[in-house]
Structure 1
Amino acid sequence: MGTALLGREASQPWAVLFLVVAGALAILAWRDKPWSAAFPAQRGACQQLQVEKRRSVLALLAGAVLLAVFSHVAFLLAPHETFGAAGWLWLAGIALVVAAAARWPGAEPHCSEASGLPAWRLWEVALVAAIAVTAVVLRVWNLRDVPFNIYPDEVMTGSVAERAYLSGRTHAPVFSTLWSDIELPALWFALVAGALKLGGIDLEVVRLPSALFGAATVLPFYGLVRGVWGRAAAIAGVSIMAFSAANVHYSRMALNNITTPFFWTLCFFLILRGLRNRKPVDFALGGLTAGLSEHFYYGTRLLPFILLGFVMYLFVLHWRETRCYVQHIGWLVLGYLIGFGPLLSCFVVHPGSYYGRGASLMTWNRIPANWHDLQQMWHTLWPIISENLLGISTQSAQDIMYYAPLLLKAEAAILVLGVAFLIWRWQHPAAFLVLLSGLGVIFVGGTLVLYPNSSPPMLAHWTPAFPAFYAAIAVPIGAWVASARALQRMKSMWISATVVAIGLAILGYANVRFYFFRYYADPENLRSDHYKAAQRLYEVQTVQSRYMASLGSAYRVVVVGKSPYPYDAEITRYLVQGQEYILAYDPQIEPPLAPVAGKGMAFLFFAGSEQYQERIRELYPGGRAEEVRNPVGRHVFYVYIVEPKLTPADSAAQ
């Protein structure tokens, strides 16, 4: 009821009250439900290495550090090499630090085994595999046509990758940034270029890397949730992540925003597992994952602050346990620096490329110095925060990439219960890490950083927090299933499992039906006049390019008169190859176009050029007239099609 009332401004105070009461009731109902221990049940002493083995481990560690240092030196000496010695030294350093951490002594065996996690069952493995396959299918099926709208940055991603690694005489350095004024790390474009080289220049191909990253996130996410909140919560959370409309959408766009949830989820999973088993290799791998994430979406630049805040929290609130992890935290830092690699030197040489873009878009950029400053900050940020909160279930996203709220109302209702439960149990490291990452991203990426002339919520900036949302949804579901199991009745356990399965099936159906059959990038959903005008332009460009692609290369496309919309040839090139395009043809003053053997003609009439239709019919009789509309039925342009004329060779072939 609370989430439903949020849609009406007059009832929002009541909605907030209902949500607070619901959260309080959830805490009362499930406050005693146990979570998996964050630390080993027994604080055993670390195993001691034999002298020879200790020397070999130290040699591996020293080698990893030296190789990492040499990779930076090699990059600074030859910054324009594509991969070169710096890249190979970087990879060798990663391999050595993993080997050293794997051989470094951890806790005694009985400590690492006292995690209390449920044993893996065959049916569970099969179910997780099925969910992972579902996630892949939902992200790669009909990737060329869904989403229908083609955001210009998608094609620009492919164009930048082509220029950097396919069409030029020299290739761009992997340890650098590309795309002027955007400054995204080059490794992402190298991956996109690899996909284009294998699959050809096509919209489906340029979208594929993001789709695979989005699907892959379900695996570490399952491990993360299962390790803390149990099997039932993990199944529920990973299912919702797999079919969530917003997650599916951002995975199907050719942008690297969705890569950050993968790296963050894997990093958090490894760190929390390392806390439970005290194995240095988990911390080293977590650090490497965090460092590698720096090579992708720049939203990940918040991650070092989140990890620093988490470590400080551990030392303050869990000092007795954390003092045994000083070496492990060292492995985390070392892994991060080695994973970051020579790209770190690139940012040191060009410091404005790291935080410059975010700093230039901040809505508030100083710490309040007095009461007036504090009031001004509140009046600046609170309207943005309130719109962001509505964007979870009520307000459509305004980022010109996604045109719906983040969650369905039923999912948002469960989210409220989960957030309340996490806040109640904030002293548990996993709860604190989920809250810190989720709230940190919404505050920094969703509130402090906004584009000019834009309106919140900007869900594209929220993507690093997506796993935190799904984890919060999973927590109350797991708690409810655990409460049913506490009754020690087989019937109650089966009933709870059936209810969860039916609920997930309904949510899955609702998400899939909405996204694949009802969703459309409607510019009328945008509040910003600037963004609304831009999306109307993108809409026309998309409809025109997709219509031209539907004709194929056997047609010459002619725009009659002057179109009020600029044509984007790059979008069309990613949909169809070798199609001739003639712009601004005036049949009143220009001679008829000479026919081309085997080629048809399609004449496009945009607003203001309809008066030429009769003249075109006179010049090219025998064609057919059509009207082209967008997917929701609004008129875009008229078209007159003249079918291809068969050549003598074609006639003989028939």
Structure 2
Amino acid sequence: MGKWLKGAALTIAIGAAVIGLHRIRRPEDTAIGALWFAIAILLSIIASTSASPLSLKGPEAPLTSSRPKQILGYGLLALAGLLGGFSLRLFSKEQGLLPWAFYWLSVIAFGTSFYLLEESSPTGDKGGSRASSPVYSGYIFCLILLLAAFLRLYRIDSMPPGIYYDEANNALDALWTIETGKHPIYFEGWGGRGPLIMYSLATAFRLLGRNPLALRLVPVFYGLAGVVAIYLLARTFWGWETALIAAFLLAVMRWHAHFSRVAFDAITVPCFTGLSLHFLGRALTRGRRTDYMWAGFFLGWGLMGYAAFRVVPLLALIILGWIALRRRLTLAQIAQGGLIFLAAALIASAPLLFYAARHPKAFTARSKQVYLLRFYPPSQRLSALLRNVRCTLLMFHQRGDNNARHNLPDAPMLDPVMGVLLVLGMGTSLRRIGDWRHLGVLAWFALALQPGIWSIEAPQALRNIGVVAPIVLMCATFLDDVMQMVGGRRPIVNLGKLKPLTPLPLIALLGAIAILNYNFYFYHQALEVRGFYAFYGVETTIGRLVASLGTDYRFYSIYSGDPTVRFLSPPDIDHQFLNPVETLPLREPVDKDVLYIVDPRYDPPEVLFHHWYPEARVKELMDPAGKVMLKLIEVEAEAINHAQGLRTRYYAGGKLIAERVEKTLDVQPPPDISPPLTVEKEGSIFIPQTGTYRLSLQADAPSLLFISGPAEAVRLHEGEEAEVELVKGWHNLRLHCQVEEEGQQITVQISGPPELQEPVSSQFFNLHKLLRQGLRGYYYKGAEWQWPPVFSRIDPFVSFRWHIQPVPAPFSVEWCGYLVIE
């Protein structure tokens, strides 16, 4: 085809891709947008040029002729196998560092053997057709790496806005390995995780201490390593121009930059895939066995990370199989290189494979948990799978991940410019599909989508994180092809003196992509309040608050056991679970002020705290949207201790002569008050367990004991006793009696379950009566309201959804009381 026709096809392809992007953004125009994309891909195929082939070499680098090196090399190779086997034997017995020491010795022995056996300067080192890189390309790449670092470190303390549950669990597991000295192969908790991210975090904590920055720097490292890996891969496959473009696109892509800030092991997928394929490409073009070895090592180490990496071995098999099918190398050459590649991968991943063989259920637990088809009957599985395919393919241009931890909910995963480039780059790769490099990129793209397609919650930016690398490679190969057509090796027009200006449009385009991603991430996604809550912004705020206040307070919240709070809080903090039945009001003396950290969505209302502690001070904390997310209710230790008792009033001649808080239910007038007296004790009593209680009132003078009960109040007169059913929780109590002479005592005895022993201590009393506003709720085991209830309490509001279940499900609740109609 003539140059001008190619130029016309290219121009129309770009226009069709832009129109397709505009139409596909509207769900009702999805089919029309897809049609325009298909036209753009077809025209891109027509406009694209053929790829310059790379000459391939089998493992033909000469072996050393030195007899000592041969003996030592083959000896180390045998030793690597023995050390690896011994490490697996140790792994079956213990979880310490010793098995890992033998594992690393086996890896080192295996790698050293190939460096000894192979000549250091083989004749194929510069095979292939790529031009050598100019010096300034290295400087440009360093600038790109600095830009990538900036986009991953800028506002790292506030974006993401919190430390999510899974991140905190990873951190706590890493700290556990430091504290206990145990180093398992696989971490089975929370669905199962490989050791790569755990031991990376443990290393960061050892170097930088237990803090959020150390947690965040680990994914930043793997994100930057991913940029380096894609640069090396693209330079090996296509040359330095394509490599710089691909590295820049990955550096500024908000999808990759975001997960480079989050302590998930998913960010390791682009890094280790890129490094493994880079060395595999080097091996195929340079003929060095050590390159096959490194390719296998990085493949094996990648398997130690995120589960989505498990499709990568299939990608390597497709590439080598295609080369064999196209007869670019002989079967013997591929078999020799493939054997080294496989052996290195097995050595590097041996502990994980050993664990998977011994514990297949634990190893595949998370994959089975999210497996799409298990949620559908056989008749609906095909339609469910097709829906997942459709929404996964549309995630780039129409509707992306809805999870605010992964994306601005529902926003397309790619910016408009990169979205257009992906469509056009796919056409370029399809035009060159006979070339193993472009076939590999297309296969990489398809395989990287599988974890999201075959799981629930599609589209899934996290499980599909591996697709970012083939996306930028397709975009980069297209842009490089256009540059060559405009002013490079294959120009469609002679620009003459304007040729030096040809890079300017490319620079402007790349700059626009960078600005779009920067603006979207830091001024839209970062300000989304759903992202604040999705990243456990509330829990993070609590953890930081507790850490800042230190040991000056005792804290109560429903988040005391939350991993995020535990990670952020120092280990010596007194932080207890806020159970309204047990801890509101408090029933034991305290030696420091108490801070209730209240989440208005799930905790009792403020009025209940003020009822028990009228002196409490309240401070509200706002979320990014300006709504109250937490209430800090501070109660002084003196107020808490003072309230643990009964309000006792002494009357003489009908007049109040004394009032104090007493810690017992018995009546013993103080020496400074002389009979005859009327004594009244009033407040509330806590019944620690539902059951039958024996009450007796021993008095020689007129007396009355009143305790509110589940059906009707319990009333005892002097000399009476009774057995009554009382429900766990607070009950109003009032004792009214006459003291007619010195030394006269009035004794109340309560006996029942062992939690409540004679004499009843002050921890079961409170000088305040129950809140009158609300309904008394009776909480039962099971769904049938079967007596007796587990506990009872006054509920200021009726809730049918509990963040923290008051009773293990299933349970039922009965609310009793009166409605006041005014």
Assess same fold via TM > 0.5. yes
Do residues 361 (structure 1) and 374 (structure 2) align? no
DSSP 3-state at the match of 1:178:
coil
- Counterpart of 1:545, as a letter, is I
Structure 2: distance between partners of 1:389 and 1:239: 24
Aligned residue for 1:423? 430
5+ residue gaps, structure 1: 366-371, 526-534, 645-654
- Counterpart of 1:510, as a letter, is L
Identify the range of structure 1 (632-641 vs 12-21) with the bigger mean alpha-carbon deviation.
Answer: 632-641
Structure 1: distance between partners of 2:462 and 2:304: 18
Structure 2: distance between partners of 1:236 and 1:406: 19
Structure 1: distance between partners of 2:551 and 2:83: 55
Do residues 101 (structure 1) and 105 (structure 2) align? no
Quote how far apart the aligned CAs of 1:476 are.
Answer: 1.1
Quote how far apart the aligned CAs of 1:626 are.
Answer: 5.2
- Counterpart of 1:503, as a letter, is L
Note the 1:109-188 alignment, pairs <5 A. 111-163=124-176, 165-168=177-180, 170-173=181-184, 176-180=185-189, 182-188=191-197
Note the 1:569-588 alignment, pairs <5 A. 569-577=562-570, 581=575, 583=578
Quote how far apart the aligned CAs of 1:108 are.
Answer: 10
Note the 1:325-344 alignment, pairs <5 A. 325-344=334-353
DSSP 3-state at the match of 1:619:
coil
**Structure 1 106/633 Cα, relative in aligned 2: closer, same or farther at 3 Å?**
farther
Cα deviation digits, residues 586-606 of structure 1 (max 9, x gap) = 99966999785xx89676462
Structure 2: distance between partners of 1:52 and 1:351: 45
Aligned residue for 2:550? 553
Structure 1: distance between partners of 2:187 and 2:540: 29
Structure 1: distance between partners of 2:43 and 2:188: 50
Structure 1: distance between partners of 2:200 and 2:536: 28
Match of 1:392 among 390, 396, 402: 396
Structure 2: distance between partners of 1:44 and 1:568: 57
Structure 1: distance between partners of 2:270 and 2:349: 17
**Structure 1 593/2 Cα, relative in aligned 2: closer, same or farther at 3 Å?**
farther
Aligned residue for 2:515? 509
Structure 2: distance between partners of 1:85 and 1:542: 37
Quote how far apart the aligned CAs of 1:18 are.
Answer: 1.3
DSSP 3-state at the match of 2:54:
coil
Quote how far apart the aligned CAs of 1:105 are.
Answer: 5.4
Quote how far apart the aligned CAs of 1:287 are.
Answer: 0.6
| Contact kept? 2:554, 2:575, Cα under 8 Å | yes
Aligned residue for 1:22? 40
Identify the range of structure 1 (490-499 vs 538-547) with the bigger mean alpha-carbon deviation.
Answer: 538-547
Structure 2: distance between partners of 1:610 and 1:589: 13
Identity %: 17
TM-score norm. by structure 1 comes to 0.82
5+ residue gaps, structure 2: 1-18, 638-822
Structure 1: distance between partners of 2:326 and 2:445: 20
Cα deviation digits, residues 251-272 of structure 1 (max 9, x gap) = 1111111112111100001111
Structure 2: distance between partners of 1:353 and 1:606: 38
Do residues 295 (structure 1) and 330 (structure 2) align? no
Structure 2: distance between partners of 1:98 and 1:590: 63
**Structure 1 246/45 Cα, relative in aligned 2: closer, same or farther at 3 Å?**
closer
Provide the aligned C-alpha RMSD in A: 3.7
Aligned residue for 2:219? 210
Quote how far apart the aligned CAs of 1:442 are.
Answer: 0.5
Aligned residue for 1:532? none
Structure 1: distance between partners of 2:495 and 2:240: 18
Aligned residue for 2:466? 464
- Counterpart of 1:166, as a letter, is I
Structure 1: distance between partners of 2:64 and 2:534: 69
- Counterpart of 1:29, as a letter, is A
Do residues 611 (structure 1) and 607 (structure 2) align? yes
Quote how far apart the aligned CAs of 1:572 are.
Answer: 2.6
**Structure 1 588/125 Cα, relative in aligned 2: closer, same or farther at 3 Å?**
closer
| Contact kept? 2:76, 2:113, Cα under 8 Å | no
Quote how far apart the aligned CAs of 1:337 are.
Answer: 1.3
Report which of the two structures shows the higher radius of gyration computed on alpha carbons: 2
Structure 2: distance between partners of 1:44 and 1:110: 12
**Structure 1 279/517 Cα, relative in aligned 2: closer, same or farther at 3 Å?**
same
DSSP 3-state at the match of 2:621:
strand
Match of 1:631 among 620, 624, 635: 624
| Contact kept? 1:214, 1:247, Cα under 8 Å | yes
**Structure 1 259/590 Cα, relative in aligned 2: closer, same or farther at 3 Å?**
closer
| Contact kept? 1:106, 1:280, Cα under 8 Å | no
Structure 2: distance between partners of 1:509 and 1:249: 15
Quote how far apart the aligned CAs of 1:22 are.
Answer: 1.5
Structure 1: distance between partners of 2:587 and 2:102: 64
Structure 1: distance between partners of 2:108 and 2:599: 60
**Structure 1 490/177 Cα, relative in aligned 2: closer, same or farther at 3 Å?**
farther
Aligned residue for 2:283? 274
- Counterpart of 1:274, as a letter, is A
Aligned residue for 2:691? none
Identify the range of structure 1 (221-230 vs 601-610) with the bigger mean alpha-carbon deviation.
Answer: 601-610
Aligned residue for 1:242? 251
Aligned residue for 2:723? none
Structure showing greater relative contact order (alpha-carbon pairs closer than 8 Å, 6 or more residues apart): 1
Structure 2: distance between partners of 1:159 and 1:416: 42
Aligned residue for 2:688? none
**Structure 1 468/613 Cα, relative in aligned 2: closer, same or farther at 3 Å?**
same
Do residues 407 (structure 1) and 414 (structure 2) align? yes
Structure 2: distance between partners of 1:360 and 1:613: 41
Identify the range of structure 1 (386-395 vs 83-92) with the bigger mean alpha-carbon deviation.
Answer: 83-92
| Contact kept? 2:59, 2:336, Cα under 8 Å | no
The structure with the greater share of residues assigned to helix is 1
Structure 2: distance between partners of 1:108 and 1:161: 42
Aligned residue for 1:39? 55
Aligned residue for 2:694? none
| Contact kept? 1:94, 1:338, Cα under 8 Å | yes
| Contact kept? 2:272, 2:299, Cα under 8 Å | yes
Quote how far apart the aligned CAs of 1:69 are.
Answer: 3.4
**Structure 1 515/591 Cα, relative in aligned 2: closer, same or farther at 3 Å?**
same
Structure 1: distance between partners of 2:546 and 2:514: 32
- Counterpart of 2:178, as a letter, is L
| Contact kept? 2:546, 2:569, Cα under 8 Å | yes
Structure 2: distance between partners of 1:464 and 1:554: 45
The structure with the greater share of residues assigned to strand is 2
**Structure 1 520/116 Cα, relative in aligned 2: closer, same or farther at 3 Å?**
same
Identify the range of structure 1 (353-362 vs 390-399) with the bigger mean alpha-carbon deviation.
Answer: 353-362
DSSP 3-state at the match of 1:22:
helix
- Counterpart of 2:550, as a letter, is S
Quote how far apart the aligned CAs of 1:394 are.
Answer: 2.5
Aligned residue pairs total 606
Quote how far apart the aligned CAs of 1:214 are.
Answer: 1.0
